[in-house]
């Protein structure tokens, strides 16, 4: 049983993240903490595994006990048998090149004999359908596949307490249900951290808490935000894609993936939601439309004029999943200024000021200290300033609350843009309230 | 798409015990310095080119050759200037530009360089990273050193794929000039994202048990050859090269 008593925590020179926090998780109990971005979810998970103060200095008060054992007395590796976590950013928890290597390493850490190792491996792989991915390099896997690999590892370790940070992000509806089933059937305690309530959480947890300003409160299910109403656009642009085709070979040169989209069209003011399994081609389709993949066949036309790859990159906004890959300047202000290519007058300064308010950004904040959610807001703000007619949001609902995600989409729609939203969340797709498309094995339905 | 260095093939080279290949590559490289005959080195090059084609295919072989081509070119341009003694082939006034001996020397140096590159290319293209680590541990390399190598194998493709994502992501917002995009934003984003991963990776390593239970032993799982056979399978070809 996990017992957190009087936990207070702050990083050096930083504000208090947790204030006298108390939490108990009984044997085989499943607890969910809903917390908005930047509220300390990841820090809490790192405190439990002991890595919060691994490189950063800070101040930790209170006790974290598991079955009466003070976890703070244990080194990080020794906690492995009690508690293990998955991270929101899956890449940072995948240590070696392939799932096979990671599982071997973890098996050595746990000193498992061959029989035990093979049993655990077979079980974990089948839980998340990763049997065929043992030798696939992580660098070649999609976001969803990497997520499943991370989950596979933690179920292989089989700790007494699973700490899962946004585990349902990046997973398709099918794999979300499979994860839910795996959690329900596991003989262990779970602490799940999420930025907003998902439909799949129904019936999964014994307790649900809300983390607000460093304190825990009983969560009461809030009504869903209003769906996005249809907004009549004053613009009349059309983005039309014809006969998009792309074939990619797998590592063995034989198996592979092909994208085949005969026709796709989106107009100013349209809201289109694109859903599909992990690896079905959602991001690939978006990249082809935006001119990011060179050898794709087919045409993309804007108002009847065919666009080459370079023109597509200038005409369409594609807000990718990982915001940090899109940011390179020291502060939020510097990032927003780059949009104007150094030509900053009074008008531009006013625009930056107003956009920073629209997206709740502090202009002085240092970019690489931003939380994942805040960085995502900054990424969206940059594309808002770029002012293009069509926008693709790739899983914007990950790491942002429904309110924030919908607010971002609404802002683009209000100025007449055509929107394509990629998501795995059925509830969110309903809230976007647009035409629904499904992609299966690279084919649009 | 970024891939790891290993190439899945059913070549003869792939079937050789990884420990033999691991031992062969450095010893063969050293043995090349005992060969001073450009003709023999050229024959070895043909042999290794065939092995390479078998082990990694034409595409990867061409890539390897393209990668080392600039250095070979530089050797051909610079080395003759250092070797002016011997039978002159090209003179400008009293200045000897090229001699027969210089050509011979540059051929020997370049072929050695190409052969060493190919020997290591064949090694890393035909042995899985984990088998390299296992082999190194079989040769009694300390566990922490092997682990460092494993992480390097993990980090190289990770950084490459990270660069690809950054390139795509930033090309959606930066203006492309006549000569393409400015490199600085891409590099800054890459450096910062890579450095951000270092503490995460290392703490993850401990969270996954590094340092637990003190000493760690991986199962070697080699069944192809015995230790003596490994040593013999390497030393015999090396000796042949030296005596040639």
Structure tokens at A431: 């809230």
- The confidence band for B3, taking pLDDT boundaries of 50, 70 and 90, is very low
Q: Do A313 and A209 belong together in one domain?
A: no
Please tell me the distance from the alpha carbon of residue A97 to that of residue A163, in angstroms, as a whole number: 23
Q: Which of residues 184-243 of A touch B (CB under 8 A)?
A: none
Q: Which domain holds residue A243?
A: 238-444
Q: Do A175 and A126 belong together in one domain?
A: yes
Last residue of a domain, one of A218, A253, A273: A218
What ipTM describes this predicted complex?
0.78
pLDDT tens per residue across span A323-373: 888 888 889 999 999 888 778 889 999 999 999 999 999 999 988 778 888
pLDDT at B216: 59
Q: Does the residue A428 lie in any domain?
A: yes
Number of independent structural domains in chain A: 2
pLDDT tens per residue across span A306-316: 999 989 998 99
Q: Is A9 on the interface with B (CB under 8 A)?
A: no
- Burial tier of B140 (Cβ tally within 10 Å: 0-12, 13-18, 19+): exposed
- CA dist A226 to A132, A406, A416, B97, Å? 42, 9, 20, 82
Cβ-based contacts of B203 with chain A (< 8 Å): 46, 51, 54-55, 76
Element spanning A258, H or E: strand A256-267
Cβ-based contacts of A137 with chain B (< 8 Å): 2-4, 157
Q: Do A331 and A384 belong together in one domain?
A: yes
Q: Do A212 and A245 belong together in one domain?
A: no
Last residue of a domain, one of A161, A189, A218: A218
Q: Is A89 on the interface with B (CB under 8 A)?
A: yes
pLDDT tens per residue across span B38-65: 999 999 999 999 999 999 889 889 988 9
Element spanning A400, H or E: none
pLDDT tens per residue across span A181-214: 999 999 999 999 998 888 899 999 999 999 988 8
pLDDT at B75: 85
pLDDT tens per residue across span A239-296: 999 999 998 765 444 556 788 999 999 999 999 999 988 778 888 899 999 998 888 8
The reply to whether residue A100 touches residue B130, judged by beta carbons under 8 angstroms, is yes
pLDDT tens per residue across span A87-139: 888 888 888 888 998 998 899 888 888 999 999 999 999 999 999 999 888 87
Q: Which of A66-75, A168-177, A227-236, A335-344 has the highest mean pLDDT?
A: A168-177
More confident residue, A2 or B152: A2
Query: How confident is the prediction for chain A on average, in pLDDT?
Result: 89
pLDDT at A244: 93
Instruction: Determine the residue of chain B that is closest to A294 in CA distance.
Output: B168
Instruction: Determine the residue of chain A that is closest to B198 in CA distance.
Output: A92
Residues with Cβ within 8 Å of A290's Cβ and at least 6 positions away in sequence, in order, are A312, A313, A316, A318, A392, B172
Strands A297-302 and A435-440: unpaired
How close does chain A come to B10, measured CA to CA in Å?
Answer: 11
Where is average pLDDT lowest: A50-64, B25-39, B146-160, B186-200?
B146-160
Q: Does the residue A109 lie in any domain?
A: yes
The reply to whether residue B1 touches residue A55, judged by beta carbons under 8 angstroms, is no
Q: Is A8 on the interface with B (CB under 8 A)?
A: no
pLDDT tens per residue across span B213-238: 655 555 545 555 566 666 666 667 76
Task: State the CATH number of the domain containing residue A170.
Answer: 3.40.50.300
- The confidence band for B4, taking pLDDT boundaries of 50, 70 and 90, is low
Please tell me the distance from the alpha carbon of residue A143 to that of residue A169, in angstroms, as a whole number: 9
- The confidence band for B243, taking pLDDT boundaries of 50, 70 and 90, is low
Cβ-based contacts of B168 with chain A (< 8 Å): 287, 292, 320
Q: Is A324 on the interface with B (CB under 8 A)?
A: yes
Last residue of a domain, one of A188, A218, A248: A218
CB A418 within 8 A of CB A391: yes
DSSP letter at B81 equals H
Nearest to B212 among A109, A310, A328 (CB): A109
Residues with Cβ within 8 Å of A43's Cβ and at least 6 positions away in sequence, in order, are A9, A17, A18, A52
Q: Do A187 and A274 belong together in one domain?
A: no
Q: Which of A293-307, B6-20, B208-222 has the highest mean pLDDT?
A: A293-307
Please tell me the distance from the alpha carbon of residue A327 to that of residue A325, in angstroms, as a whole number: 6
Q: Does the residue A223 lie in any domain?
A: no
Q: Do A352 and A209 belong together in one domain?
A: no
Residues with Cβ within 8 Å of A439's Cβ and at least 6 positions away in sequence, in order, are A274, A275, A276, A280, A281, A282, A285, A445
CB A386 within 8 A of CB A340: no
Radius of gyration of chain A from its Cα atoms, rounded to whole angstroms: 23
Of A192, A169, A195, the residue nearest A404 (C-alpha): A195
């Amino acid at each position: 049983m996990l017992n957190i008593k009087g936990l207070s925590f702050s990083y050096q020179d930083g504000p208090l993240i947790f204030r006298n926090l108390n939490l108990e998780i009984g044997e085989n109990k499943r607890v969910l903490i809903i917390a908005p971005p930047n509220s300390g979810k990841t820090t809490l998970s790192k405190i439990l595994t002991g890595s919060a103060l691994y490189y950063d200095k800070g101040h930790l008060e209170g006790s974290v006990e598991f079955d009466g054992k003070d976890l703070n007395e244990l080194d990080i590796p020794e906690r492995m048998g009690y508690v293990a976590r998955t991270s929101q950013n899956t890449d940072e928890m995948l240590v070696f090149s392939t799932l096979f290597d990671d599982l071997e390493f973890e098996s050595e850490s746990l000193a498992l004999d061959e029989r035990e190792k093979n049993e655990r491996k077979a079980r974990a792989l089948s839980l998340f359908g990763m049997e065929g991915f043992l030798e696939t390099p992580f660098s070649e896997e999609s976001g969803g596949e990497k997520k499943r690999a991370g989950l596979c590892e933690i179920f292989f370790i089989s700790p007494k307490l699973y700490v899962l940070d946004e585990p349902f992000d990046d997973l398709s509806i099918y794999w979300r249900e499979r994860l839910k089933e795996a959690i329900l059937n596991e003989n262990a305690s779970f602490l799940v951290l999420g930025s907003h309530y998902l439909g799949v959480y129904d019936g999964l947890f014994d307790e649900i808490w809300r983390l607000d300003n460093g304190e825990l409160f009983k969560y009461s299910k809030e009504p869903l935000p209003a769906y996005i109403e249809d907004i009549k656009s004053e613009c009349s642009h059309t983005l039309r894609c014809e006969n998009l085709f792309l074939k990619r070979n797998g590592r063995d040169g034989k198996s592979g993936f092909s994208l085949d989209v005969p026709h796709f069209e989106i107009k100013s003011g349209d809201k289109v939601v694109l859903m599909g399994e992990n690896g079905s081609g959602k991001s690939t389709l978006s990249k082809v439309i935006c001119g990011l993949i060179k050898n794709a066949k087919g045409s993309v036309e804007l108002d009847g004029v065919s666009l080459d790859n370079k023109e597509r990159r200038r005409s369409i906004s594609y807000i990718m999943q990982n915001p940090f890959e899109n940011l390179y300047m020291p502060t939020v202000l510097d990032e927003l200024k780059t949009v104007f290519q150094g030509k900053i007058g009074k008008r531009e300064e006013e625009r930056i000021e107003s956009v920073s308010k629209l997206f709740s950004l502090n202009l002085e904040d240092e970019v690489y200290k931003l939380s994942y959610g805040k960085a995502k807001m900054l990424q969206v703000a940059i594309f808002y300033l770029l002012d293009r007619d069509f926008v693709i949001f790739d899983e914007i609902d990950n790491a942002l609350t429904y309110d924030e995600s919908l607010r971002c989409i609404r802002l683009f729609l209000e100025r007449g843009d055509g929107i394509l939203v990629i998501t795995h969340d059925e509830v969110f797709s309903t809230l976007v309230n647009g035409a629904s498309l499904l992609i299966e094995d690279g084919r649009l339905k | 798409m970024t891939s790891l260095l290993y190439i899945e093939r059913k070549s003869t080279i792939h079937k050789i015990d990884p420990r033999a290949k691991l031992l062969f590559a450095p010893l063969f490289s050293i043995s090349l310095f005992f060969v001073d005959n450009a003709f023999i080195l050229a024959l070895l090059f043909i042999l290794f080119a065939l092995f390479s084609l078998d082990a990694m295919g034409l595409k990867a072989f061409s890539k390897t050759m393209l990668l080392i081509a600039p250095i070979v070119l530089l050797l051909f341009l610079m080395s003759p200037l250092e070797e002016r003694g011997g039978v002159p082939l090209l003179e400008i006034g009293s200045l000897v530009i090229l001699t027969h001996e210089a050509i011979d020397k540059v051929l020997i140096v370049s072929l050695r360089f190409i052969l060493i590159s190919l020997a290591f290319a064949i090694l890393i293209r035909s042995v899985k990273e984990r088998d390299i680590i296992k082999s190194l541990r079989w040769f009694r390399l300390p566990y922490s050193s092997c682990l460092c190598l494993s992480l390097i194998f993990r980090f190289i493709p990770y950084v490459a794929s990270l660069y690809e994502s950054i390139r795509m992501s930033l090309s959606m917002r930066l203006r492309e000039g006549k000569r393409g995009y400015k490199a600085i934003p891409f590099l800054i984003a890459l450096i910062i994202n890579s450095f951000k991963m270092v503490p995460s990776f290392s703490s993850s390593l401990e969270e996954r048990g590094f340092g637990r239970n003190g000493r760690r032993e991986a199962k070697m799982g080699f069944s192809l050859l015995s230790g003596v056979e490994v040593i013999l399978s390497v030393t015999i070809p090396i000796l042949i090269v030296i005596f040639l």
